[in-house]
Amino acid sequence: MEHRLDLDDAYRRHGPAVLRRARRLLGDDAEAEEVLQEVFVSLAARPEQFAGRSAMTTFLYSATTHLCLNRLRDQRRRHALLGQHAASGGQGPKGPLGADSEAECSSILRQLLSRMPAELAAPAVHHFMDEMTHDEIAEVLGCSRRHVGDLIARALAWVAAQGDGDQ
């Protein structure tokens, strides 16, 4: 018997979590809302994406992470094309030191994720931002716990290499 996806119910139940996830990764409310819509529009157009191999929350979490990482990469490409013009676009006043430091750290993290190879970015987000265990990440990614450990080690090596090359 075929499983029928109740998209309205899924949106009501899981939409807020998808939106929170996108906000955390993108740092922008408007972009996060676009990702929320894109995740569910894609699911409506191709419900077979969710084959029931995992929980709906696991599927949506993974889909949201993937879309956000793609958006970060696309933003990086747009900024590169804008070149000097993007760099001269003024920045607003800075907040208190604590808030500014956290915002700066998030910005640096988003920049790193935008350049990181896709196969390393998702496990890095799950491990370092979401503080998921290797077992949890393996379930989300559909791979072994051992492979997750390898991916995280490669992500750390990649970040270290970026620091060596940039400084």
pLDDT tens figures, 148-167:
999 999 988 888 888 765 44
pLDDT digits (tens, 9 = 90+) for 66-118: 899 888 877 766 555 545 343 444 443 333 334 455 677 777 778 888 888 98
Tokens, residue 33: 């809302």
CA distance 143 to 133: 13
Distances (CA, A) of 106 to 27, 41, 69: 8, 28, 14
pTM: 0.60
Instruction: Write down the pLDDT at residue 39.
Output: 93
Helices (H), 27-144: 29-45, 56-82, 84-88, 97-115, 118-124, 134-141
pLDDT digits (tens, 9 = 90+) for 31-43: 999 999 999 999 8
Tokens, residue 124: 């890095």
Instruction: Write down the pLDDT at residue 78.
Output: 58
Tokens, residue 6: 């109740």
- Range 39-57 average pLDDT: 86
Q: pLDDT band for 4, please (50, 70, 90 cuts).
A: low
Q: pLDDT band for 51, please (50, 70, 90 cuts).
A: confident
Instruction: Write down the pLDDT at residue 16.
Output: 94
Nearest to 155 by CA among 139, 129, 22: 129
Q: Calculate the CA 8 to chain-centre distance.
A: 24
CA distance 73 to 59: 21
